[in-house]
Amino acid sequence: MIPGLADAEFLRYGSIHRNSYLNSPLALSAHLSARDEPAALFAGQITGVEGYTESSATGLLAGINLARILSGDDPVIPPPTTMIGALYRYMSEADPKHFQPMNANFGLLDELPEQIRDKKRKREKFAERSLADMQAWIDAHNLHGAPLART
């Protein structure tokens, strides 16, 4: 149907799409700022996260941290028992030689103290711990008016 492509052979659909991203473990601080300029924060796919939710979450946290930096406070990162905290840990601690973008996934989270075989129950326990740890982090950093607060 397309002139000039009558004999084209498609070996891999979708391979034309490619996102550019920074080698975050090498180029960025733990809170995703340029190493030589703490107020230059990065967020979204350029940092090595994949997905709309992941990109939005890094943007919200970049906004929180920029506000903190501009008011003289240290930047903060949620605990690695939360999905956004686990993504930030991945982006700062992954091997720079093999760094690849990452979606949120349960494999990034710290293991639970007890072994749970039922997948659904295990995910529920991850979520319960994450919500409790996120609320404690929000309280500890007085972020009740911040976009990440669930109150």
- CA separation (Å) from 108 to 1, 13, 45, 59, 63? 45, 28, 18, 20, 23
Residue 148 predicted with pLDDT over 70: no
Strands 33-34 and 37-41: antiparallel
CA–CA gap between residue 46 and residue 59 (Å, rounded): 11
Residue 146 predicted with pLDDT over 80: no
Q: Which of 57-61, 115-119, 133-137, 146-150 has the lowest mean pLDDT?
A: 146-150
CATH 3.50.50.60 for domain 24-140, yes or no, is yes
Tokens read off for 62? 């970049």
What are the domain boundaries of the chain? Answer: 24-140
Categorize the per-residue pLDDT at 29 as very low, low, confident or very high, splitting at 50, 70 and 90: very high
Categorize the per-residue pLDDT at 5 as very low, low, confident or very high, splitting at 50, 70 and 90: confident
Question: Nearest Cα to 49, choosing from 96, 90, 106, 81?
Answer: 90
pLDDT in tens, 30-65: 999 999 998 999 999 999 999 999 999 999 999 999
pTM of the model: 0.82
pLDDT given for residue 144 in this prediction: 81
Residue 19 predicted with pLDDT over 90: no
pLDDT given for residue 16 in this prediction: 60
Over the chain, what is the mean pLDDT? 90
pLDDT given for residue 9 in this prediction: 78
